[in-house]
Amino acid sequence: MGRISTAALFCVLLFTSVLAAPAPASSASGAPTVSDASAAQPSPTTPLIKDDPNDVIPTTGTVEPIRGSLGANILGPDNQPMDQQNPDLLAPPTTDQGTVGNAKWPFSLSHNRLQTGGWARQQNEAVLPIATELAGVNMRLEAGAIRELHWHKTAEWAYVLKGRTQVTAVNPDGQNFLATVGPGDLWYFPAGIPHSLQATNDSAEGSEFLLVFDNGDFSEDSTFLLTDWLSHTPLSVISKNFQVNSDALLNIPAQQLYIFPDAPPPSDAQAPADPQGQVPSPFAFSFSSVNATQYSGGTAKIVDSSTFAASTTIAAAEITVEPGAMREMHWHPTQDEWTFFLSGEARITLFAASGNSRTFNYQAGDVGYVPASFGHYVENIGNTTLHFLEIFNTDHFQDVSLSQWLALTPPALVKAHLGISDDTFNHFNKTKQVVVGPAKS
C-alpha cells in the first residue's frame, strides 16, 4: 500500500469531522440555537491574545511608569497629582499602540473669563485639536446676573448643572419664548437666534450650566452681543433705527457687558404679549423628568429631535455607571462624541483602526472626545457612581453595540474569528445592554 501524503491525510480527517458534527439544536420556537460544544479552532495564522488583563494601575502612593516587567521609575522631576489622575498615560496598557491624538481636556486648565456676576471658561479646538465637531463652555451666573442678549453663528445646547436659569428668545418670524430651567434640564437655540440667560434667585448661589456648540472652532469670545454692536454703531443711526431722540440713548454702554449683575427675574415671569404668537417648538426641555432605562450596570436616557423637536443639530445621552461596571463596547457610525464627566472616575480606550489605540482616564469636570466610528467603552474605575453626558452633532442618536453585532451574526462566522466556544457565544446579547455590570465569575 502506498504512503498517504500529509495533505491527503488532513483532508480525510477534516471531511470525517464535518460528517460527525452534530446538527444545530432548535429552541422551543423552532429557531436554531447555539449548542454547548466547543468551537472549531481557526488556523493559527496569528498569535493568540495575551492573558494580561491590563487593569487600571492603583493610584495610592507614588505612581510610576511601570506595568509588570515594563518601564522604570522616574528619577527626575515629576508631577504626581497629574500622574495619579492619568495612570493609563503614565503606564499605558500593553494593548495601547500607535498614535491617537489627545482626547482629554480638564476645564480646570481652561482660561477663565471673570466678570462681575459670574464667569465662563471654554474648550475648543485651540486646546483640544481632536475636537473638530463640538466645543463646550462652562458658565456660572450669580443670582440675578445676566449673560447679555446675544446670538451665535452656531447652535447652542445647554445642560443645567446647578440652580435655575431663565432663558428668552425670539425667532426670525417674530415669535418669542421664555422659560425657566432647572438642574438636569436643557435648552437649545438654533444658529442666529437671539437669546439671553439670567440666573434666578431660587437658589442664593444662582446657576451654573454646560453649553455645547456644534462647531469645534467655536469661541465664546466671538459671539454677537447687543451692547457690542450698539457701541460700534453711530449714535445717529441708532436714533434713526429706534425712532427716538439720541438723548434717550446716552446710557448705552460704550463697550460690551457680556455678564453683568441685575435684579433677579420674578419666578412667575411670562414672555411679553406677541402678535405673532409663541415659537412653535419650545427652546427648553425638561430632561430631568425623563425616566432613565435601567441596565445591569447603570442607567441611560437619550434626548434628540424625536423628543426635543427644536434640537435639530444636537443629540445626547445621560449615562450612569455603577462601580465595577462599564458603558459597553460600542461606536457611533457617523458622529463624533463630545463627553462631559459630571461625577466619578472613568477609563476609556479609543480604538482608531490600523492597530492604533490609546487609553485615557477622566474625572469630574473633564471633557472627553471620541471621533466617529472609533471603538470605545467607558469603564467606572472609582468607588462611586460614574455620571456623564455623551453629546453629538446630529439630530438623531445612534450607536452600534459590539455584543449585539456579534450575537446577530452567524455563530460559525464569529467563532471562526474569535476561537470561542458555543457557551461563550451564547453570552453575547441580541439586545443592546448599554451599561453592563461586572463580569460574572
Q: How far apart are CA 98 and CA 87, in angstroms?
A: 18
Q: Is 332 labelled a binding residue?
A: yes
Q: Is 220 labelled a binding residue?
A: no
Q: Is 111 labelled a binding residue?
A: no
Q: Is 376 labelled a binding residue?
A: yes
Sign (positive/negative) of CA torsion 149, 150, 155, 157?
Answer: negative
Q: Is 390 a catalytic residue?
A: yes
CA torsion angle for 334, 340, 343, 346 (degrees, to 10)?
50
Q: Is 150 labelled a binding residue?
A: yes
Among the listed residues 208, 322, 345, 390, the single catalytic one is 390
Q: Is 195 labelled a binding residue?
A: yes
Q: Is 427 labelled a binding residue?
A: no
Provide the grid cell at 18. Answer: 464535518
Q: Is 337 labelled a binding residue?
A: yes
Catalytic residues: 390
What residues are designated binding site for Mn(2+)? 150, 152, 156, 195, 330, 332, 337, 376
What residues are designated binding site? 150, 152, 156, 195, 330, 332, 337, 376
